[in-house]
Amino acid sequence: MANQCHRVYFFDNTDLLQPIAEINPNGFLDVKEKEYNSVKPGRLRTNVLLKWDKDKIRMLR
């Protein structure tokens, strides 16, 4: 999916729709730590984080 798109964003499921993660064109998954910890998104964790290459996940502060 990352090879077909320029960027992919993951949003929380609240009314604010804040981006909590994005996939860069180079294949890195950047997760915003503060936003991720505030909503604890289960689907992002089980469907993306656990299946993504561990060397390509970056937690942004």
Q: Where are the domains of the chain?
A: 8-60
> What pLDDT does residue 56 have?
92
Is residue 31 within 8 A of residue 41, CB to CB? The reply is no
> What pLDDT does residue 49 have?
86
Alpha-carbon distance values, 48 to 9, 15, 42 (Å) = 12, 22, 10
Rounded to whole angstroms, how far apart are CA atoms 24 and 42? 21
Four-residue CA torsion sign, 7, 46, 11, 18: negative
Extract the residue ranges of the chain whose pLDDT is less than 50.
none
Question: And the tokens for 59?
Answer: 């937690």
Is residue 21 within 8 A of residue 30, CB to CB? The reply is yes
> What pLDDT does residue 4 have?
58
> What pLDDT does residue 30 have?
92
Please report, as a single letter, which amino acid is at residue 13: N
